[in-house]
Amino acid sequence: AFYVSVLSVLAAVSIPAQQPTLSEAKFDELRALLTPDPQTMWRRIPWRVELLEAQREAAAQNKPLFIWAMDGHPLGCT
Amino acid sequence: MFELLRTKFIPVAIDQAYERRQKDAEGEFYRSIASQGPRKNFQGTTQGFYVATPAGELLLYNNNRDPEKVLRLTKKASVTFAASKSAKRATKPIASGKVDARYNPVPPEGGLVVRVRAKVLGGYVATSDRWRKAMQTALSRDNLWITQKEHAALVAGELPKKLMRRLTRFHLVDNTRGEPPMWQDKEVRKIAFERDGKRIRGSVLLRTEDGKRGYVASMLGFVEVEKDVVTRFDLVVNGEFWGEGRYTRNAPAGRFPFAVSLTLADGSDVADAIPPQASRGWVEGYFR
């Protein structure tokens, strides 16, 4: 932790005040990189986000609820 | 797991910090389920996976992150449900009734919802640990909310300062490994954005008082308008981040490349409905 902390402070001291401007090519490259793959398993699970809406659906279909309860919203990370 | 959840369950993802506090029918239903498990103290976290009958009878609680273990337990819960009396009788649907507005914030009417994704682009030490590897390659997800007034300003060709400051303080954060610390007002050392027609350019320098966490980045974006409605709001922020937060441990050492991408939400993704992380518990503070 001490080592990481020292590195972080050194990094902060040597930081340039500005990054080079972003080109359109870099813009396109990063947008593609930060677009999630719709086929990842996580995204194919049909999550509901309202518990009682899910309860009504579960009651109608006679299925149990699978509740993923987190600190912060679980769908906040892909 | 995907097939099991899709065919045998109704899967629902919730922020338990809200659910356990909600003073409405949904909060009551959640607490009735959670109180049957080991986490009965609603002053603290009730995080985990729950399997319950539609009537709210708890069949399984677990807070393990090992996917094989979760799969095994969930399969077992499915069998337990199928053999139970609950599976053979009808359950009454529960009406939502009046919802607790404090924990059910909705996007501003006439405003916009923007998807925000962030990624660490390098700097990690290679690992064979599956969990750590997942964190290292994670693409985070949050939403930026834009007010009706700001939407109108964007249509008029302006770039509202308040909006860009909100974007900077609450969305240029490393939330790829957990809940991130937001930037305090005084930690915004430099913020410069300008709009020229459809194009936005900008740069930021963010740094904590002790210098242990920061982000220096430049930005390029495009805004397009049709019939008084913003139809495109695409921004990319790219630069070097350093440091970590209490819940975002194990960041790369020193400076590392980090990018954030923003694009208009169209409601097609269930996560478009999630309130901004920084608005949790205090929406007014998010818009201030």
Distance CA B188, CA B264 (A): 25
What distance lies between CA B156 and its chain's CA centroid?
Answer: 30
- What 3-state class would DSSP assign to B142? strand
Answer yes or no: do B151 and B202 share one domain: yes
pLDDT, tens only, B8-39: 899 999 999 989 989 899 998 999 999 999 98
- Residue A41 Cα, gap to closest chain B Cα (Å): 6
Predicted local distance difference test score (pLDDT) of residue B253: 95
Domain boundaries in chain A? 19-76
Answer yes or no: do B50 and B176 share one domain: no
Interface of B with A in 202-241 (CB under 8 A): 203, 205, 207, 210-214, 216-220, 234, 236, 238-240
Answer yes or no: do B64 and B126 share one domain: no
Closest chain A residue by Cα to residue B86: A62
Domain limits at B140?
A: 106-287
H helices of chain B, in order, are 2-8, 16-19, 25-34, 67-83, 130-136, 148-155, 161-171, 283-287
Predicted local distance difference test score (pLDDT) of residue A4: 47
Find residue B163's DSSP bridge partners: none
Inter-chain residue contact A45 with B5, CB threshold 8 Å: yes
Residue whose tokens read 């607490």:
B31
Which domain-ending residue is among B61, B79, B101? B101
Q: What does the buried/exposed string (b/e) look like for B101-117 if buried means 16 or more CB atoms within 10 Å of the residue's CB?
A: eebebebbeebbbbbbb
pLDDT, tens only, B225-241: 988 999 999 999 999 99
Other Cβ atoms closer than 10 A to A66: 28
Residue of B181, B184, B185 whose CA lies nearest to B243: B181
- Specify the number of domains making up chain B: 2
- Mean pLDDT, 10 residues at a time, chain B of 288 residues: 86 91 93 93 90 95 83 89 86 92 89 95 90 84 94 96 94 93 93 92 93 95 94 96 90 96 90 88 84
Determine contact, residues A69/B48, Cβ cutoff 8 Å.
yes
- Mean pLDDT, 10 residues at a time, chain A of 78 residues: 46 56 93 80 74 95 92 67
Which chain A positions have a beta carbon within 8 Å of B238's beta carbon? 19, 22, 26, 30
Distance CA B79, CA B59 (A): 10
Answer yes or no: do B178 and B72 share one domain: no
